[in-house]
Amino acid sequence: MTSSGVRHDTSPSAVTSPGVPPATRREDLVTVLFGAVLTAGAMSDGWAHTNIIETIEGFFTPWHGLLYAGFVATAAWTFWLAYRRRGGAPRWWRDGWPAGYRVGAIAAVTFLLAGLADLVWHETLGVEVGLDAAFSPSHLLLDASAVLLVTSPLRSWWAGGEGGARSVTGVASLVLGAMAPSILLTYASAFLTLAPTRTIGLGAQQQAVLGVDAYLLTTLLLVGPFLLVHRRRASVGTGAALVAGVALYNLVMHEFPTTQTWAALGALGGAALADALLWRLDAVRGPAAPLRLPLTGVLLARLLIAGHLTGL
């Protein structure tokens, strides 16, 4: 991190071979669109497990079909981006990856292996329920691989250092990356809890504790990715986009319960206000201002939680 508070990405995923052009904005956009299909498949599968679990008897379901169709499209496109650069890198499978996509290619392979493991798991042990579904080994590997695969455009954006319209694909990729683990964390999501509306009395302490835990975990899930972007460059709407994506992921699974939906809209308003204030602070104080990132985290966390509680 430089003295200006802006870090330029020099990670291995950002390094590319000489003669290999970076991904274009259009190429990143296609990756985001395919990643959105993968995420929609995971979202629909979560809805099915929540609402019609008794009708799911194996691996081969429409929701898994959408999930793996999105994966195949995203993985094939990722490998195509390297193959089409074979003119500058004859060993394209090793050297042809645009900046930010090498990690995504490795994640595509691990996702495939995890999917095969999930097939065996479902066909031999059956369909998991509740926390068993969230923390089965195959699902954990699928989720980690999905995060790395759909965030290739984010790393591409960081490597290129562009702002403006190019930020759209970067932020969209960031949102997909934050949505992916949401399906494993619904048991402790602030977007689903009603704990703040309940009276804390004798025997109700556990519910209150779980409510506090939900706010802590959800705040980390949202503020952490936001700071990763904000330390490099301020991008208007990033906070609101993260809240909208993660909240949507949770609410779809429970078919948009009224109270939680209003609370999510309140959190979205708080995040949008934080976006505006942080943009103004950067304009006034500059990106090299002391304590820029700590203040950013505190402001975003306070406003989105205040908005959520107001909605409740």
Question: What's the per-residue H, E or C state across 83-148?
Answer: HCCCCCCCCHHHHCCCCCCHHHHHHHHHHHHHHHHHHHHHHHHCCCCCHHHHCCHHHHHHHHHHHH
Cα separation values, 312 from 73, 260, 267, Å: 39, 7, 10
Residue 53's pLDDT is what?
63
Return the pLDDT at 202: 67
- 245 closest CA partner among 225, 231, 229, 228: 225
What does the pLDDT read at residue 132? 57
Q: How many CB atoms are closer than 10 A to CB 288?
A: 11
pLDDT score at 311: 94
Which residue's entry shows tokens 């195509």? 80
pLDDT at 17: 54
Instruction: Give residue 63's pLDDT.
Output: 72
CB atoms within 10 A of CB 162: 15
Residue 102 sits at the vertex; the CA angle it makes with 142 and 82, to the nearest 5 degrees, is 115
| pLDDT tens by residue, the chain, 312 residues | 343 444 444 444 444 555 678 889 999 999 999 999 999 988 887 787 777 765 555 566 777 788 889 999 999 999 999 988 887 777 887 888 898 999 999 999 999 998 888 777 665 655 555 555 567 787 888 889 999 999 999 999 988 877 777 889 999 999 999 998 888 888 889 999 998 988 877 666 888 888 899 999 999 999 999 999 888 877 889 999 999 999 999 998 888 999 999 999 999 999 999 999 999 999 899 888 899 999 999 999 999 999 999 999
